[in-house]
A and B are shown apart, each in its own frame.
Chain A
Amino acid sequence: MGRVVGIDLGTSTSCVSYVEDGKPRVINGPDGDPIQSSVVSFLDDGQILVGNEAKKHIIHNPERTVYSSKRLIGRKFFSSEVKKAMAVSTYSIVEGPNQSVRIQIDDRQYSCPEISAMILMEMKKIAEEHLGDDVDQAVITVPANFNDGQRQATKDAGTIAGLNVLRIINEPTAAALAYGFGKGLQQKVAVYDLGGGTFDISILEIGDDVFEVISTAGDMYLGGDDFDDRLIDYMAERFMRDHDVDLRHDRSALQRLKDSAERAKIDLVENLETTISLPGITQVNGSPTDLELTVNRNYFGQMVHDLIQRTFKVCDEALQNAHLTVEDVDALILVGGPTNMPIVKEAVKSYFFKEPKDGIDPEEVVSLGAAIQASALVDSTAGALLLDVTPMSLGIETAGGLMDTLIERNTPIPTEQSRVFTTTRDGQTAVKIRIFQGEERFCKDNELLGEFRLTDIPAAPKGDAKIEVTFEIDANGIVNVTARDRETGKARSVQLNVSGGLSEEEIQALKERHSGEDEGVQTYKPELQLE
């Protein structure tokens, strides 16, 4: 059997770690950097690059370089997030079957799990080269507020990449694990996780080797990318004021703006002021025109002030759900690249009235925690125990479109809840049930996970058939549905149709396509196109 690793599959960057002699360690990529961009670039000659190498192609190959695809994974084509991504993305996002999202590169369409699989394969390859051994098992992390569809899609990505996904764990939980592992702590900790695309806050209680998540809350639509967008808008508006041209409508100019916004943001970590210089960014009246401007840290702080405040609203919610106040928190852990920004760090410090724990690399800590969990799963005598919760309530649709909550949010997982269903018409042989996740009273305001049908019910007068349906959330946070006849105890067939997801056949087809390519992703050539 091969080695096990932990992979942080982030919106902007990914990182892989393993455990050696009881200590987790990150693994450097081919360029010596453990932090690899979550970018896939399809070159003209059919080569596919992944990671930091791929990111270099983002400017001159914008239509065929895919970044931040995690924002799209497990989402439906008509969701607002996908619409928002389509407006700003330089690659083409199209609708696939079953309301899914596809990324169009030339005449080929890729599903989001497939793009994620390419990143995972690269991480796998990095680990294999370092360890000199096969890597075939992994724990992969996801934002705590990922719903069932997004978790399932991430797991599918792992399968396509040829990995046995031991467990999907939450990023903040992994970070807490890396922080408290082997220290014998008795503490309440807050993990403030501002990633590239999502924000999570988790409140945990550590009791020696047990890590209990008390509550978790998040904002799916808030991350470092939004900070970049503010800078992009600022630059574009300044340019528009001077030249009456909107750079955001020009794909290659937009990509350069994106790139320099990110650089400026990083520059402002160390410096109080940064200069953005983009010579010949576009043609104005037929002649190349430059963009040049200076931004100082304070002004940038004002631009993103409301974004930071939004995270504190989420923190309030998480603390409230945990029945705690900031004074009860013993330790503060910062996770995610954007928490390196002094303006973020200062604001978080004053919200929690405490210094964040130092000696924790916000970009590596999640992957380290994933590696600890991976090794604890294969060797149950060692390691720590995670007691996580479900981030969202799970329910079914009842009369009038009301949500009937079966499992409340912040319920420890794994968990299950049963409900008895019956027929409402004489001779009815099938019952359709729609499952939702979310906190709103009406289902239309929550996320539809899928729809399932109880079939082959023997024709009988209405109300006669009693079918007990069990909704289970497993340790991965993934929902399973089973049904049995209440009288006979016989299992009933359940057809679950997860919206936006890949079918089992599609996953297997993709997996086979990717396997047997030992030379890695770089020479990978697509042969099969998804319907």
Chain B
Amino acid sequence: MDAETKQEIITLAKTIDAMDYYQILKVRKRAFTQDIKTAYFNQSRRFHPDKFYNEDPRLVEMVNKIFKRVCEAYKVLSDQDKRATYTKAISGDDGQKYIRYNPKLYARLAKADKPEDEGQTPMGKKYYQMAQTGIRNKDYKSAKINLQLAIKMEPSNQTFKERLAEVDELLKMRSKKV
């Protein structure tokens, strides 16, 4: 391996934490999907750990770190939905916080975009709140009844239905444990 490549790896391993996925793959933000794949192949040819199998372990560790990040970048940018969310997130004021795609962080972001439907009718809202209290107190039986009542009030509410499915599973598990 030439000294130039070695120096590049050492530098990249240090700076990669501050780079976004576009910088890591060396593609423009408006790149086509096919360009992203080509970039991924090119970066893989350069930084895949297999190319450094018998090198100094410290260098291999750096290459590992770089390549894992290359894969991560590709995984997100090659998925249309993830790419759109990611691009929006890193373009914001606190963009630096989002330069690594983290399912939990992004789930929160998605939730903020689309709030839970806590009920459109006064009775639906009330039953849902009572169900929430039931879930918090681990009283799943009463939670289930309240959710069923809430759904009766608002048959098309998705949040209610999802919650009911979760409660049903929890009840099933509980009965198995006994």
Residues of chain A at the chain B interface (Cβ within 8 Å): 166, 205, 207, 209-210, 212, 376-378, 380, 385-387, 400-401, 405-406, 411-417, 419, 441-442, 444, 472, 475
Tell me, rounded to whole Å, the shortest Cβ–Cβ distance linking B55 to chain A: 9
Give CA–CA (A475, B45) in the complex, Å: 15
- Establish whether residues B49 and A385, one from each chain, have CB atoms under 8 Å apart when the complex forms: no
Contact between B41 and A378, CB atoms less than 8 A apart: no
On chain A, the residues within 8 Å of B49 by CB distance are 414, 475
Closest A residue, CB atoms, query B176 = A444
| A400 and B173 in contact, given A207-B41, A212-B41, A385-B48 (Cβ under 8 angstroms) | yes
Given the contacts A377-B50, A380-B51, A406-B103, A415 and B45 also touching, CB distance less than 8 Å: no
> How far is B74's CA from A401's CA once the two chains are assembled, in angstroms?
31
Q: Which residues of B contact A377 (CB under 8 A)?
A: 50, 53
A376 CB contact (under 8 Å) in B38, B50, B71, B170: B50
B50 engages A386 (CB within 8 Å): yes
Measured CA separation A472–B65 after assembly (Å) = 11
Contact A400 B170 (CB under 8 A): yes
Distance in angstroms between the alpha carbons of A209 and B67 in the assembled complex: 17
Q: Chain B residues near A207 (CB, 8 Å)?
A: 37-38, 41
Instruction: Answer yes or no: B68 CB below 8 A from chain A CBs.
Output: yes
CB-CB contacts of B35-64 with A at 8 A, as 1s and 0s? 001101100110011111110000000001
Contact with A along B54-98 (1 / 0, CB 8 A): 100000000010011001101100000000000000000000000
Q: A412-B74, A412-B75 are in contact. Are A380 and B44 (CB under 8 A)?
A: no
Residues of chain B whose beta carbon lies under 8 Å from any beta carbon of chain A: 37-38, 40-41, 44-45, 48-54, 64, 67-68, 71-72, 74-75, 102-104, 166, 169-170, 173
State A299–B84 Cα separation when bound (angstroms): 53
CB nearest to A475 among chain B residues: B49
Q: Which residues of B contact A417 (CB under 8 A)?
A: 102
Nearest residue, chain A, Cβ from B67 = A414
A414 with B71, Cβ < 8 A, contacts A387-B44, A400-B173 known: yes
B170 pairs with A385, CB closer than 8 A? no
Contact B51 A385 (CB under 8 A): yes
**For the complex, what is the distance from the CA of A405 to the CA of B75, rounded to whole Å?**
15
15 A-B pairs within 8 Å (CB atoms) are namely: A212-B37, A378-B53, A380-B51, A380-B54, A385-B50, A386-B50, A387-B44, A412-B71, A414-B67, A414-B71, A419-B104, A441-B169, A442-B169, A472-B68, A475-B49
Closest Cβ of chain B to A305, distance in Å, is 35
Q: Is the CB of B71 within 8 A of A210?
A: no
Main secondary structure of the interface of B (DSSP, over half): helix
Residue in chain B with minimal CB distance to A442: B169
Contact B169 A380 (CB under 8 A): no
In angstroms, Cα B143 to Cα A124, docked, is 62
**B75 adjacent to A411 (CB under 8 Å):** yes
CB distance from A443 to the nearest CB of B (A): 10
CB pair A416 B52 closer than 8 Å: no
Minimum CB–CB distance for A2 against chain B, Å: 15
Shortest CB distance A446–B (Å): 14
Q: How far is the CB of A408 from chain B (nearest CB, A)?
A: 8
Cβ of A390 to closest chain B Cβ, rounded Å = 11
Question: A416 to B68, Cβ gap below 8 A?
Answer: yes
Residue of A at shortest CB range from B51? A380
CA distance A416 to B166 in the complex (A): 29
With a cutoff of 8 Å between Cβ atoms, the chain B residues found around residue A376 in the complex are: 50
Q: Is the CB of B50 within 8 A of A414?
A: no
Q: Which residue of A lies closest to B140 (CB)?
A: A400
Give bound CA distance, A309 to B48, whole Å: 38
The CA of A75 and the CA of B67, in the complex, are separated in Å by 31
A419 — which chain B residues lie within 8 A by C-beta?
Answer: 104
Q: Quick one: given A401-B173, A414-B71, A442-B169, are A380 and B103 in contact (CB under 8 Å)? A: no
A472 to chain B: closest residue by CB: B68
Chain B nearest CB: distance from A417 CB in Å?
8
7 smallest beta-carbon distances between A and B, as pairs: A412-B71, A210-B41, A380-B51, A377-B53, A207-B41, A414-B68, A385-B48
- A364, chain B: closest CB distance, angstroms: 23
**Contact of B50 with A415 in the complex, beta carbons under 8 Å:** no
Q: Which of B45, B74, B173 contacts A210 (CB 8 A)?
A: B45
Q: How far is the CB of A283 from chain B (nearest CB, A)?
A: 47
> Looking across the interface, which residue of chain A has its beta carbon closest to that of B75?
A411
Decide if B71 touches A380 in the complex (CB within 8 Å): no
A373 to chain B: closest residue by CB: B50
B52 contacts across to A, CB distance below 8 A:
380
| Cβ–Cβ contact A415 & B53, under 8 A | no
Given A207-B41, A210-B41, A400-B173: A415 and B71 interface contact (C-beta under 8 Å): yes
CB within 8 Å for A380 and B53 given contacts A411-B75, A413-B71, A414-B67: yes
B40 to chain A: which residues have CB within 8 Å?
Answer: 212, 387
A contact residues around B67 at 8 Å (CB): 414
Complex Cα–Cα for A416 and B50 (A): 17
